[in-house]
Amino acid sequence: MASLCHLTNVHHPLDQRIFYKEALSLAAAGHQVTLIAPGDPALCGERFGVHLQTIPAPRSAVDRLLNLTRLLRAALSVDADCYHFHDPELLPVGALLRLFGRHVVYDVHEHFPQVALVRPWVPDRLRRPLAWLVDASERAVARWLSGVVGVVEAQGRRFRLRPFAAVKNYPRLEWFGGSASTAEYELVHIGSLSAERGGLLLLDILGELRETHPDARLLSVGRFHGARVEAQFRETMAAYDLENHIELRTEPVPYEELGSWISRGRVGLIPGQVSAQNLAPFVPTKLFEYLACHLPVVASDLPSLRRFHASADWGFLVEPADARKHARAVAHLLDDPALARAKAAHGREMVEHCFNWAIEEQKLLAFYDQILPQKGDCR
């Protein structure tokens, strides 16, 4: 078996995809796995068979640049057979590691050129040049690497000159189950709160739902996507007099506990709005996590979700910006428990058969077998 080292300058050491899915699966398969990420030094050490190392969490753009050197030094000290990095800003680090004769894998979590076009902190005049630079850099460096891992098959077209595997972020079913029959909240939403993801629409939905279900409550598990969104959310929440109807959990939730939080709700919400990012072929992981927890789902009618709804009737798709239609769909499920259970059962069955990490894990392991044909000596 090989020694493998995962690197990130952006994600938490216990990131769902990096640590709980990829690193744990590779360690369980017998590889020696190290993960280096910015975070609290108290996290250093062995966890579930993975060795964690931390570097200082960056507080500024300068810190993030300095961390590239720290990550490179830490990576070389591990002396791994293969390095697996997760951020586009680590492309130079990956290229250097490749020059040192190591196998190197780039894990592309999103379509980063498109992300550059929508990030609010990027000035308008710089968005297209930055998107072009990210696209050109990814393609150029990827040609040198041992392979690329993405989250959807469509990404493979950009990296067709190297081995590519689409490894999706479907849930580990051992941590997702439970039942909504004793739920404390009518609604649950997990994931970051932003305008594009419908964070503000949640308040409109709950306000509409209270006209027919005055005691309805919402559980939101996820951070705000910036101080401006948080201020607007809290101001609107107060204007709607919803403070006593919403529980906000903005602190990180360990992945192995996320299923128990989801199961506290009766209906899962995905209120994403029409945007360039949401029209891309990336599917919200929360859909499959809700379904794994036996929840029916009310979601915005976006192309990426529509294709999954066609294969299993797990809930309702409604017009993205229409809070009243979202609320009516939720009310229909709350008022007809038998219908809600039937839709939840369809969704759970779909996840068990097709959309879970046990299936994706095999794709990851097969990819490593492809790029490391001689296990234990892959240089």
Scanning the structure block, which residue is given the tokens 């966890």? 47
Work out how many domains the chain is built from and give that number.
2
Residues 198 and 165 in one domain: no
For a pLDDT cut of 70, what percent of the chain falls above it? 91
Q: Which domain holds residue 69?
A: 3-170+357-371
Express each pLDDT in 249-259 by its tens digit.
999 899 999 99
Higher pLDDT, 296 or 194: 296
Q: Let me know if residue 187 belongs to a domain.
A: yes
Residues 161 and 217 in one domain: no
Q: In 3D, which of 305, 295, 288 has the Cα closest to residue 354?
A: 288
For residue 377, the model assigns a pLDDT of 45
Residues 241 and 159 in one domain: no
What is the arithmetic mean of pLDDT over 14-24?
A: 97
Q: Let me know if residue 139 belongs to a domain.
A: yes
Is it the case that residue 99 has pLDDT exceeding 80?
Answer: yes
Q: Let me know if residue 377 belongs to a domain.
A: no
Q: Let me know if residue 263 belongs to a domain.
A: yes
Is it the case that residue 181 has pLDDT exceeding 70?
Answer: no
Residues 119 and 200 in one domain: no
The DSSP bridge pattern shows strands 50-55 and 45-47 to be: antiparallel
Residues 149 and 209 in one domain: no
Q: Specify the CATH number for the domain of residue 29.
A: 3.40.50.2000
Q: Let me know if residue 376 belongs to a domain.
A: no
For residue 274, the model assigns a pLDDT of 72
Considering the entire predicted model, what is its pTM?
0.90
Residues 148 and 295 in one domain: no
Is it the case that residue 119 has pLDDT exceeding 60?
Answer: no
For residue 114, the model assigns a pLDDT of 63
Express each pLDDT in 156-180 by its tens digit.
988 988 899 999 999 999 999 866 5
Q: How many CB atoms lie within 10 A of CB 51?
A: 17
Residues 91 and 198 in one domain: no
Residues 197 and 122 in one domain: no
Query: In angstroms, rounded to a whole number, what is the distance separating the alpha carbons of residues 330 and 324?
Result: 10
Q: Let me know if residue 378 belongs to a domain.
A: no
Q: Encode burial over 304-319: b for 16+ CB neighbours within 10 A, e otherwise.
A: bbeebbeebebbbbbe
Range with the lowest mean pLDDT among 6-10, 99-103, 138-142, 354-358? 138-142
